[in-house]
Chain A
Amino acid sequence: MNILSKFYYRYRKLLKTIRLYLIIAGPGIIVMVADNDAGGITTYTATGAQYSFHLIWFLILLGPVAYYVQEMTVRLGAVTKRGHAEAIFHSFGAFWGWFSLLDLVLLDWLTMITEFIGMTAAMSIFGVPPIVTVIISWIVMGTMVLQGRYWTWEKVALVFCGLNLIYIPAAIMINPPVDKILHGFIPHLPPGGFTNALFFLLMANIGTTIAPWMIFFQQSAVVDKGMQEKDMLWGKIDTAVGSFLTVVVAIGCIVLTATLLPGQIINDDAEAARRFMPINRHVGALLAIGLFDAGFLGAICISLASSWAFGEVFGWAHSLNHKVKEAPWFYAYYFFDLLLAGTVVLIPRAPLVLITLFVQVIAVTLLPAALVFLILLLNNEETMGEYKNTLFQNVANIGIVVVIIVISTLYGISAIFPKILGG
């Protein structure tokens, strides 16, 4: 009887813990899974097709990298109750504030166009015209925010995050070679050694791991959710779970293309799904759904990141808990962003390749600044108090930030000068 009562007590405790986690879970999982946006999925599928299972270990390393950067936004948001844009204005003054805000707005808008490119390309596999995809996406994205509750928006977004995991059953369905996957977990270079092409792809993978909008989004989401210092541990767990999921999805994409499209070059968003169709219709369809979902998740998070940032700086009401009447400018900007990005994709012969290139270049100007500001803010004892970075966190975070800055700069420069790496 005693054993039974102990077991029941532990079971209730576990249930309570899980329930508490589910209440607090959200920003971390959403930002990390949304990081696997249309561009991210394309990079992973290209990596698998080009280098088979050989780079799985590298993607595993990127999980902790993403966690360490995003975890800082949880602490900063929960302690200061300020979004990242407002924190930059407050701590570093108007010049760096405007630089960050305007750079973020431009970059977010360009990135959102690439998300819409991914969504329309994915749905075109099912014969859905781009205009229908864009309009339906607008309606769903609008409905998600107009109900006036952050909690509802977050839970709907989590459903879309669940859909992003579609790559895992798709990878299992094709019976991949388990021994080769396991070998991919051991760090090694692909056959052919360290080439320029490999370096470019590694840079692209790092470039998709941390994007400026992620920093702004998660901090603002933590504030909008009303997370306190006491919730910080759960916020960190949430971020860790998200970074685990993002790596699992990335591995799923690699397994898919490494198994079915080995040695092929993937150039655009929906190419992998299109090539899968004649080989395995079901997997091709799952891949297309996954790509649409990736673009959709990216678009809803990125547009919110910009709207929150503007709201914080201009002093508009800027919470998803507000009704449209209470926060008209916040919602107006959100819809303006979505409408503008979606419309560009519908313009015949719009320079979409050039836009994708621009995203990489603009990201290089904003990402280092955002990361440096993040480290400085986390070391500010006056605002962070006992939650400021420890020595270990500083060593780890500064190391990660330096590597990300160097690699993303090289990636951006190689986008401007494609022949610089001998490509």
Chain B
Amino acid sequence: MIFDFFRNTAGAVRAINQKYAKPHIKMTRGVRFSFGALRFYLLLLVGIMVYKFITLLH
């Protein structure tokens, strides 16, 4: 039963990935800039968290 649950969930996730494979928003300069800024921001944040984790370990 648990195996079925995970198999069904994985199937559902695959279907969602297919359904939303391509963004529907028009890729204007503003949208591209926002995505770039967001990626940079999140990478910076991950970097800060990794730094904190390493300093905690030491």
Assess whether B48 is interfacial by the CB under 8 Å rule.
yes
Contact A91-B48, Cβ < 8 Å, known A314-B16, A368-B38, A369-B38: no
Contact A416-B16, Cβ < 8 Å, known A90-B24, A92-B23, A365-B42: no
Contact A91-B41, Cβ < 8 Å, known A361-B49, A376-B34: no
Assess whether A313 is interfacial by the CB under 8 Å rule.
yes
Assess whether A177 is interfacial by the CB under 8 Å rule.
no
Assess whether A336 is interfacial by the CB under 8 Å rule.
no
Contact A372-B38, Cβ < 8 Å, known A94-B17, A379-B30, A416-B48: yes
The complex places the Cα of A382 from the Cα of B16 at a distance, in Å, of: 23
Contact A94-B25, Cβ < 8 Å, known A364-B45, A369-B38: no
B contact residues around A382 at 8 Å (CB): 26
Assess whether A333 is interfacial by the CB under 8 Å rule.
no
The complex places the Cα of A250 from the Cα of B23 at a distance, in Å, of: 40
* A92 CB contact (under 8 Å) in B12, B25, B49, B52: B25
Consensus secondary structure, chain B interface: helix
Contact A89-B52, Cβ < 8 Å, known A376-B31, A382-B26: no
Assess whether A290 is interfacial by the CB under 8 Å rule.
no
Consensus secondary structure, chain A interface: helix
The complex places the Cα of A124 from the Cα of B19 at a distance, in Å, of: 49
Query: Interface range on chain A: under 10, 10 to 19, 20 to 34, or 35 or more?
Result: 20 to 34
The complex places the Cα of A92 from the Cα of B42 at a distance, in Å, of: 16
Shortest distance in angstroms between B45's beta carbon and chain A's nearest beta carbon?
6
Q: Name A348-386 residues within 8 Å CB distance of B.
A: 361, 364-365, 368-369, 372, 375-377, 379-380, 382
**Chain B residues within 8 Å of chain A by Cβ, number:** 22
A contact residues around B25 at 8 Å (CB): 91-92, 376-377, 380
- Name the residue on A nearest B46 (C-beta): A365
B contact residues around A369 at 8 Å (CB): 38, 42
Q: Name B37-56 residues within 8 Å CB distance of A.
A: 37-38, 41-42, 45, 48-49, 52
Assess whether A199 is interfacial by the CB under 8 Å rule.
no
Contact (Cβ within 8 A) A94 B26: no
A contact residues around B16 at 8 Å (CB): 89, 94, 97, 313-314
Contact A91-B34, Cβ < 8 Å, known A314-B12, A314-B16, A368-B41: no
A contact residues around B29 at 8 Å (CB): none
Assess whether B20 is interfacial by the CB under 8 Å rule.
yes
B contact residues around A372 at 8 Å (CB): 34, 37-38
Contact (Cβ within 8 A) B20 A89: yes
Contact (Cβ within 8 A) B41 A93: no
Shortest distance in angstroms between A84's beta carbon and chain B's nearest beta carbon?
14
The complex places the Cα of A365 from the Cα of B45 at a distance, in Å, of: 7
